[in-house]
Amino acid sequence: MIRKFLDSKRAFPLIGAIIVFVLVFSVLYLGDNVGLSDNGDFRRVLLVNNLEYENDDNYYYLFKQDYRMKIEGNTIGEKIEYLCRNNDEAEIYNSPHFVIIKASKVMNFLINTMLVRDERHYNIGCLAFIYTLMLSLAAWGIFTFFADFSRKVKITVLVIFVIMFCDSGYILYFNSFYGEPLQFVSVMTLIALGLLIYKRPTIPKVACFFVSLYFFAGSKLANVPYAVIVSVMALSFVFLRKDKRYRIGVGLSVLVAAIFIANLYVSIPEWMHDDTTYQSVFFGAVKESETPEQDLKEFGIDEKYLPLVNTHAYMQEDEYPMDIRSDEFKHDFYDKVSKADVVFFYMRHPVRFCQKVAFAIENASALRPLNLGTSETVIMDSTNRFSIWSNLRVASKFLYNPLIVFLLALLLTAYVIIVNVFLVREKRQTNEKRLYIIMAMYVLLAGLWINMCLPVIGNGEADLMKHMFIFENFMDILFAGILLTIVNMQRRNRIIALIITAVIVFVLQIDKPRDTVDFGTYNGKPVKWEVMNTLEDGSQVLVTRTCIDERIFDTENNRWETSDLRTWLNSDFVTEFTPEELARIVPVRNEVMLTYKDRKMAESGNHTHIWSATRQAAADLSETAFKYTVDDMVFIPTLDMMKDIDVHGSYWILCPYGYNDKMQRYMKNDGFVLHTNIDNIRGVRAAVRVKP
């Protein structure tokens, strides 16, 4: 049966696409429905498309399945026509993303009409269905291309697609109003069409390719520059056929695509340009700079705006030291500084640019944005449903290590250039299909380099994990190609390649072992601690090697001083410690961040602590954030420990989430510092300072 499936040129693509469809549907709806919660981006999409939340409560932290549509008209036709309109009162920018949303609205309306229920009800599952169908069609196209290959290749392609590109890190986006799902399915569709055009070029396939490219460009407007490059490179389609009609069709497709894509860029509203430019400068190029005065001078920005360094465009209005919406600031900054100035600044400071890009790559390890809730019922709860590739990606430390990523990109660039030079010199061995393959590799190269650098240039470090999604997608495509190449190698070369990969991954797992000590007793067993730091007086800061228990943080708010967790650590946890051991514990004065709501309690600081998920950056800007001091005996790991602490589980850390007094930050077992509701259960690692 399996052999028949693999050997059939028609059955393999069709059944493979069905497998993809069923798997994606299962990831989203087998059990509790899962998707992604709003981070603030939904509002403008909902407004433009005449949609609203059915229930506004906690929409930032819970995935929402149900919404409400605005409908006007008397007949079904009039109502459908209204559903396809934009909201004329909203500040509109053109996006093909809205076409998909409107299609899902019409689907909802027709289903509601047939089931005789509230016609205004909108279930986001219809939108997910459209994305699932698009991904399944892309899978069908890719499998169709490989239908003539050997069984080994077919199995490899099917397994790679299912494990890698049906992972929940990609699929969770389908249940959301973000542009990422359209971006993802557009990329996979472009790959499928590119392969099918290579196999048998026709004008309809070429036209579909450029339609997909337009949807890709409009899914996230930051994709426009890359889409323009791809449309120019796609002129290589003319190499595949020599008839005049076909070549004219390709030329016209390129021209029309370039016009429509350019129009997308022109339609970007001014506020979007302003916000991203603000962040690319104040929360990007000059963020945490040692010479901010000189940096602002290079940008031509007045020194009076120095207090804005390290701020981003979406803080509370009263957190800014001055009015960034005033006409004066618009004249002094927005009218003078552009993205081109940011590019030229980084050209003058290449080391800083490399540091920023390296930080962006580190943020590109997790496929899904880690600050977004995936559950309908538990606030800020993440699902691990079908996350084989997501987990492997993070655990291997392979595809987000800056050195490895830079090396892969450089090796691929060098390879393409060498092959290109060889083809130019050896003209006899050059044919149209080889030129097409080389151009396809250039497209992948451009995608890697542009999307590695563009998020930092275009938006600074704001929402960096989410903006690196397209780069993650391209890295996975590159890695999928490498895996397929390894499978097709001779056995000896394949073994060597796998050994090299395994050795690299093993080396990346090596961490310097920490000194450990036994100190105290809990539940009748000695407590093992890691030595985090040895101070000048000989005392040591210790953290329990693993989680000693699992508990909630509190039931009321995220103030550490009055929390249930702090009370428990300094009472029940130490009841089995001997008097001598208790006497060795030295009080510690901890600096604790405060939420925006509690900022009046601050002893120092002038802004809410800005969230960053990577351990290396978890404490960024904490020195100037709102905080107060608490004298502690037993406490939990602090922000300062995040760079050096071993992960060893999922546990609370001593830092509230800045913009919600019901959220506390915690270390996730994959090594990222996230936040969740205070009454969610997480592990506890205790920390103390003890006398020598």
- 555 with 565: CB under 8 angstroms? no
Model confidence pLDDT, tens digit, residues 551-580? 999 999 999 999 999 999 999 999 999 999
**According to the model, what pLDDT value does residue 378 have?**
85
Under a CB-based contact definition with an 8 Å cutoff, are residues 569 and 596 in contact?
no
Residue 425: the pLDDT is 64
Quick one: pLDDT band at residue 1, thresholds 50, 70, 90? low
Return the HEC string of 193-218: HHHHHHHCCCHHHHHHHHHHHHHHHH
Does 511 or 638 have the greater pLDDT score? 638
Q: Does residue 604 register a pLDDT over 80?
A: yes
pLDDT at 361 over 60: yes
pLDDT tens per residue across span 375-388: 888 888 888 889 99
Distance separating alpha carbons of residues 306 and 596, to the nearest angstrom: 22
* Sign of CA pseudo-dihedral 188, 189, 192, 195: negative
pLDDT of residue 586: 93
615-639 average pLDDT score: 91
- Per-residue pLDDT tens over the stretch 217-230: 999 888 988 999 99
Task: Render pLDDT for 471-481 as a digit per residue (tens, 0 to 9).
Answer: 999 999 988 98
Q: What is the Cα–Cα distance from 356 to 284, expressed in whole angstroms? A: 8
Q: Which of 101, 126, 127, 97 is nearest to 111 (CA)?
A: 126
**614 φ, ψ to 5°?**
-75, 145
Residue 13 pLDDT > 70, yes or no? yes
Domain ranges in the chain? 1-195, 201-266, 270-348, 516-690
User: What is the pLDDT averaged over residues 253-263?
Assistant: 89
State whether residue 590 is helix, strand or coil: strand
H or E element that contains 676: strand 673-677
Per the structure block, which two tokens stand in for 246? 């076909």
3-state percent helix, strand, coil for the chain, nearest multiple of 5: 55, 10, 35
Q: Inform me whether the pLDDT recorded for 502 exceeds 90.
A: no
What is the spatial distance between Cα 80 and Cα 73, in angstroms, rounded to a whole number? 9
Contact 220, 183 (CB under 8 A): yes
| CA dist., res. 634 & res. 574, Å (int) | 9
- Residue 322 or residue 267, greater confidence: 322
**Tokens encoding 411:** 């090796």
d(CA 362, CA 170): 18
- pLDDT given for residue 268 in this prediction: 79
The answer to whether residue 140 scores a pLDDT higher than 90 is yes
> Distance (Å, rounded) from C-alpha 298 to C-alpha 283?
16
Tell me: pLDDT of 121 over 90.
yes
Q: Quote the CA–CA distance of 684 and 653 in Å, as a whole number.
A: 8
CA angle 48, 54, 58 (to 5 degrees): 100
* For residue 513, pLDDT beyond 60: yes
| First CA to last CA distance, the chain | 70
Bigger pLDDT: 401 vs 51: 51
Supply the pLDDT for residue 552: 95
In this prediction, residue 494 has a pLDDT band, given cuts at 50, 70 and 90, of confident
Three-class secondary structure of residue 544 per DSSP: strand
Residues of the chain with pLDDT > 90, as a percent, come to 56
What percent of the chain shows pLDDT beyond 70?
96
Among 45-49, 183-187, 563-567, which is the least confidently predicted range?
45-49
